[in-house]
Chain A
Amino acid sequence: MIRYIAKRTLVMIPVSLAVSMIVFFIIQLPPGDFISGYAAKMSASGEVMDAQALAKLRENYGLDRPWYTQYFSWIWGILTSGDFGYSLSYNRPVSEIIGQYMGITVIISLATMIFTYVVAIPIGILSAVKKYSFFDYFATGVGFLGMATPNFLFAIILMFLSFQWWGDPMLGLFSPEFADAPWTAAKWMDLLKHMIIPVIVIGTSNTCELIRVMRGQMLDEMSKPHIVTARAKGLPEWKILLKYSMRAAVNPVISTIGWSLTTIFTGSTITAIVLNLPTQGPIMHRALLSQDMYLAGSWLLLMAIFTLIGTLLSDILLAWLDPRIRLDRKEA
């Protein structure tokens, strides 16, 4: 198993490099570059820049060189000195921007995931065990509603309600008075309060889907022939549920945690914009629009690495939970 993990980790290196190159290539693909976009913006505000000034700027930022040269010097910087390049639109090193937003993104994503799993797994299991009960119908009904409501609409509704009841739409992640305050207990509480709406909004559709998956899995497991075997041994029903049905039903859900981590990273951009959250989604969105290629490239590269790590994590969990896969791996 350890050999397997080591092997997989090694394979991740060339894959991330390849991904980063493709990402970089695609970002510079649209005509124009950051400077031409910048010039257009300047001229819109009445300030005309001559071609020479533009060329000078390009040279300063290395934008006049072919894309692969730019790519190699960028990746070289990352590998040798952890330098992710310079963000043109923020006028700051990319690593600084990453540092600022990544923490918040990770916190929100993790909170959302925990919310999703803690809510969905028990409800899904209970729905299956009490199939066709009032509880089951209720959970299914609410689940469909939750899946059908677009996240941004849901976000606006919750913000409105929050404003109605508490006079605060809970925009952003901090109240103004805490935004630049040091980390005190009160600031943490403020953060937690502001995280409720984003977590519910980002998590709900995943939660509803997971409830359905969980319920289906559980029903499937409960009708397996080996459940009859267990019953024929004289095992009490609750023990059968715990030891066999639930154990097996939770397996695929737990083992895909790694994958869902990455979808939460990527899937919540619009919600984050609506809720004015300082997560990576909106930043990424803006960087792509303005062809701020080092920033966008760095984000995408990190995302790819997260995806790879998530996948590896899932595979490890899968092997850990399922002996059939575990033994396969042993031989590999």
Chain B
Amino acid sequence: MVQTEAQQSGSLMRAASPLPGARKALEVRNLRVGFPTEEGMVQAVGGIDLEIERGRTLALVGESGCGKSVTGRALMALQPKHAEVSGEIWLTPGRQEAQLDRRLRASSENGSFNLLQFKPGGKEMRHVRGGLISMIFQEPMTALSPLHTIGDQIMENILLHRTKNRKEARSIALEMMERVGIGNAQRRLDQYPHEFSGGMRQRAMIAMALSCQPALLIADEPTTALDVTIQAQVLELMKQLQHELGMAILFITHDLGVVAETADEVAVMYLGRIVERAPVRELFRNPKHPYTKGLMRSIPRIGGVGGRLASIEGTVPLPLNRPPMCGFYERCSERIEGVCNRQDVPESDAGPGHKVRCFLYSEPEKKGDNPHE
């Protein structure tokens, strides 16, 4: 299905030469994304911290509408123009300085840069998009243009970031197609998306996203639209390519079965906040937050794969004009009245690499009123 090491030509291996020492590909500090509306600010992402190490996968899980996609898009500055974004997004491409764009080099601090200093559509950000961070989407049917060939769309990425030479771009595209297991790649490059099956399209998307060897791949529910066997193949492919290319992956999903199979770390998101994060085994063995526990209970025991997050009672409130309080308060069976609904919940340690945001594991502030939101 996928080419063996010996068959791969050298060109793909060229770009990535990791910087020694820099382990974290991505560090997000207090990221907030708000959408001003007529009724007030919809705080889709309400101050989150994330870290992903090179070559590792962080799964971002949570119910529909909790802010996963908004987070993923904000990392590439793909939010709508009117959105308000604040915080810090530190990217460490892990490449030799010389391989970076001149503008990016100028704003780097020890090989890292804060992406939020760049204008969303500006030149620097456009070097980051597709070059250092790539994204694959849920719907392989609509994420490709129906009027352009697959080859054209993959080569576009390569021509923007790796070479100006069309012939070279085509041969890189060809190599990527073979690498993601698309047979007869030479002919396939000249075909259109509608001639590809859903699984093949998602493979082509992966080929496109990885053609410039990004430091970070954001995969927003990449397998949700595929049927189960194809889903497993695509996940396997992503894992293998991650092993070969060493990129970090932010894997957005609401399927805990997929999380168990792919993630190294897990961050559980609820109403725009990360309520719990831990290494994957730790989280499955020892969930702390009432919301996470609810999620775990909702996984079907037998079979394992395919658990959807739907069976917790109540619905997610809209993150609109919320006072400082626990976001899960309305649905929580362990809530402490007068505490959980009075102040913002701080994050506390719950074991090695395990953090949780719940008053069951931390002392509330004595006064009750938390001055900062």
Contact = CB atoms under 8 A, between A and B. Distances in A.
Interface of A: 224-226, 228-237, 243-244, 247-248, 251, 321-324, 327
Given A229-B137, A236-B126, A324-B192, A248 B145 contact: yes
Interface of B: 73, 76, 78, 121, 125-131, 134-135, 137, 139, 142-149, 153, 156-157, 160-161, 192, 194-195, 205, 208
B137 A233 contact: no
A231 B146 contact: no
Contact of A226 (B129, B142, B192): B142
A232 B147 contact: no
A235 B160 contact: yes
Contacts of B73: 228
B192 A232 contact: no
B160 A234 contact: yes
B154 to A, nearest CB: 10
B84 to A, nearest CB: 19
8 contacts: A224-B142, A229-B153, A232-B129, A233-B160, A234-B126, A234-B160, A234-B161, A237-B121
Given A225-B143, A233-B156, A234-B157, 20 more contacts: A224-B142, A225-B137, A226-B142, A228-B137, A231-B129, A232-B130, A232-B135, A233-B129, A234-B126, A234-B130, A234-B131, A235-B156, A243-B148, A244-B145, A248-B146, A248-B147, A322-B146, A323-B194, A324-B146, A327-B195
Contacts of A244: 145, 147-148
Nearest to B128: A234
A39 B293 CA distance: 98
A225 B195 contact: no
A226 B131 contact: no
Contacts of B156: 230, 233, 235
A164 to B, nearest CB: 48
B229 to A, nearest CB: 25
Contacts of B76: 232
B203 to A, nearest CB: 15
Nearest to A233: B130
- 3 shortest interchain CB distances as A-B pairs: A233-B130, A234-B129, A234-B130
Nearest to A232: B135
A225 B138 CA distance: 10
Contacts of B137: 225, 228-229
B194 A324 contact: yes
Nearest to B122: A236
A225 B130 CA distance: 16
Contact of A229 (B143, B160, B192, B194): B143
Nearest to A228: B78
A262 B5 CA distance: 61
Among A225, A230, A234, A243: residue with most chain B CB under 10 A? A234
Contacts of A324: 146, 192, 194
A233 B157 contact: yes
A235 B161 CA distance: 10
Nearest to A328: B194
A230 to B, nearest CB: 7
B5 to A, nearest CB: 28
Contacts of B149: 323
B144 A226 contact: yes
Contacts of A233: 129-130, 134, 156-157, 160, 208
A225 B139 contact: yes
A302 B9 CA distance: 63
